[in-house]
Structure formats: C-alpha cells, structure tokens
Amino acid sequence: MKLSRLGTFVAIPTILLVSGCAGVKTPPQIIFQNSTHLVRIDLDRDIGGPDDPDRHTHPIDIRTDRLHTILDSTRTQEYRAMLQRAISGSAKQIEVFSEHDITVFAPQIREAFLQATPEEHVIFALINPVGSRQEITSGEMFVKANTLHLILNCFQLIATDNSLSSLCGPIRQQEYDLSFTEKDYFIGFGNEFFGNGKKEIIIDYASIPSSVTPLTARMTMHTQASSPEPIEPMTLPVVQTQIVEREDTSGAVADHVTNIEPDRIQMLERKIDALTQVIDQQRDALEQQPVRQQSRPPRILFLTTPLMRGDDATALQRALSFPSNRIDGIFGKQTDRAVRAFQKQHGMPVDGKVGHDIINALR
C-alpha cells in the first residue's frame, strides 16, 4: 500500500490544478476537462522510477463496463468511532459518483489508464460551484497486477478561498470511510491516512464479469421504457357501412350509419384476446427463466497488503506440499517463497505471481 498524497485540486473557476502541497511541478497530462469534471495523468511520487519494484501495472486496458461497476459501487460515510457507533449506529452510506459522473468519468479513466506509465497514476476531480466558492471531490487510481486501488483524497470539500494552504489543511482533517458494495470483488482497505477513516479501497477488478452492471442495467431499463420494441402491425378488416335515410316524426330526412358486417367486429375482438394471451404467456415465461450466472475467472495470487486469502490459496498450499499445520489459506511470505522456488525450479519467470502457467504445472 502507499500513503497517498494530494494529487489534484481545483482552486479557481478556470480550473487551475496543483499537484501536492509541496509546490508546483511539471504540468500533468490532461485527458479530459470541462467546467465540472477532470481526468488527468500525473507522476506518482511514491514510485522511485522505472526500476522500482513497486511500480504500477500501466499502461493497461480496463473495460468501460468494469469502471462503471467500480464507480457505481463506491460509497462513503461519516467516520464514527466505536463508542459513537454504539450510541448512534453507523452513518448513512452516500454514493460518491452520480450516474452523470460515471457516464463522464468511465471512458475517460479508461483512456487515462491506456496512456499512463508504470510511474504515473490517474487523477480525477469533481468541481461544483457553491456560491462564490468551490465544492471539490478528488482522488486517484492506480493498478497493481489485477487489483485496482481507488483513493478518495477529499469528498465534497468546500474551499474557503483560492489559496493552496486553505485546501490542504481541511482535507487532512476530513473523517470518512470508503466502502464497496460489490463484496465479491472487494479485497480490502489500504493505509488509513489524512486523519481517521479508510480512504483507500482495493478492488479485484479483473474478476468483474463483462455483464450488465447496476448502472448500465438502469440505463437499459430506461432505454427500453422510452423506446419499446415495435409491434408487428395487424391488418384490420374494413367495416363496410352504408347510409340509409329515415324519416323522423317531423318529416325531416336524417342520416343513419349502419354496420352491415357486425361479425367482423367480433372476429377482431377474438384476435385481440388471443394476442393478449400470447403476450401474457411470453412475459410469464421470461419471468420464470433463471438468471444466468457468469463464471468468474480465477484470480492471480501474489503477496500484497492486505494478504490475499481464500480457498484458492488453501488449494495452492496443498499443491505445494505444505505440511497440514501450515495450511491456513493465507498467501503470506512463506507461500510467496514456495511459489518463487517452484518457478525457479521449473524455469519460469520468478515473480511470485500464481497464474494459469503455475496452476497447470501443479496439476
């Protein structure tokens, strides 16, 4: 994990962006910018250079639908200590990104990851004017192996003025917790920093299936509601009419319209009833169909913080002939050393990562 630094903030309406609190450096590469949203690439000062073993896995292509899921599943809530939770309960979770924010950010963040180097990270910022001041939400993302790290540096922070120092101070004091609603793909939290609270979440993005995400599902339902499928036109029988004259009591001649084929109307009503029954039967059949579950690809195991754990780690330790009293399902330092020894013995790249090649070799 890393201790995040302030990577991005907006201080004036023209979106003058400064990186960090230590001073101005070479301008970052802006991927997208309008009056309320910004995505850019900036050097990550925690990476020591191209040979740093802790460098990021960039450039990388992360599908837009996966980014939709990540942004749509990110929540924040007020930080409360144990005593506060016991008295008042947990704070309400709040969506960090609106549907509009996700629609804007997802393709631009994908493009940023495609252009980022291993020494860079992706910065995002939301800027909303509140009177004469700015409300700022800002953070950063980077990828290591198959995990995506999302850090929220500040959330809906009101800048008191346009000076850099006024931005840095309140941000460090903000107290909130991040969370991720898609628990199947949530790995854990990074370091706690900037006061109390968990501000870094780690996500197994590579295991998110290429399926309809919660946001895209809502968008699809909206599209279907506004643009229904066309119904095949039905040829209606022409009802012949004729005009007959009748004489009323006053002697005036009046027009009277008479249907000469009433059986055609009854036939049409029967066709409508039959079509209605067919539609109802098809709807009932669709509702009874089970939802298809897409299988998740196996994740890549490696030594990270927090430690990866699960049945796959247990199976790996058994395959590596661990003694029964050392099989705990946690990919720790001993498991990492065993994996590296196996890779070296079999002429594989020694990187400590358990992918398809090692799995196949262990079978």
Report the range out of 3-12, 184-193, 258-267 with the highest average pLDDT: 184-193
pTM: 0.53
172 pLDDT tier (thresholds 50, 70, 90): very low
Q: What percent of the chain has pLDDT over 90?
A: 36
Beta carbons within 10 angstroms of residue 177's beta carbon: 21
DSSP 8-state class, residue 184: G
Beta carbons within 10 angstroms of residue 24's beta carbon: 10
Query: Would you say residue 241 has pLDDT above 50?
Result: no
What is the rounded average pLDDT of the residues 257-284? 74
* Residue 177 · residue 200 · CB < 8 Å: no
Query: Using CA atoms, how far apart are residues 42 and 234, in angstroms rounded to an integer?
Result: 61
> Which parts of 15-73 are beta strand (E)?
29-33, 37-43
Give me the chain's average pLDDT, please: 76
User: Containing H/E element for 37?
Assistant: strand 37-43
Cβ neighbours of residue 236 under 8 Å, at least 6 residues apart? 268
Range of lowest pLDDT (235-239, 261-265, 307-311, 312-316): 235-239
